[in-house]
Amino acid sequence: MFNRNRNYGAFLGTVIGTSLGIILSSRMKPFNSRKMMKLARKVKSNVVDGMSSLWN
């Protein structure tokens, strides 16, 4: 039961964080937007690794 709630919370946090990142990056200047996209790629790989370790 606890493991399922933890996985759902991690998934929900990922969705909310991604949504906020998209909203914030759309309001930035082009230079900052490029930096944000580079950071987003790094964060995405970390999140995917973390989610796969939680689900396995």
Q: For residue range 8-50, list pLDDT tens digits in order.
A: 777 788 888 888 877 777 776 766 667 777 888 888 888 788 7
Treating both helix axes as pointing N-terminal to C-terminal, what angle do 30-55 and 2-26 enclose, rounded to 10 degrees? 170
Considering only CA atoms, give the Rg of the chain.
14
Report the residue count for the chain: 56
**Tokens 């606890």 belong to residue:** 2
pLDDT band at 1 (very low <50, low <70, confident <90, very high): very low
Q: What is the pTM of this model?
A: 0.42
Domains in the chain: boundaries: 2-55
Q: What is the pLDDT of residue 16?
A: 85
Q: Are 12 and 51 in contact (CB under 8 A)?
A: no
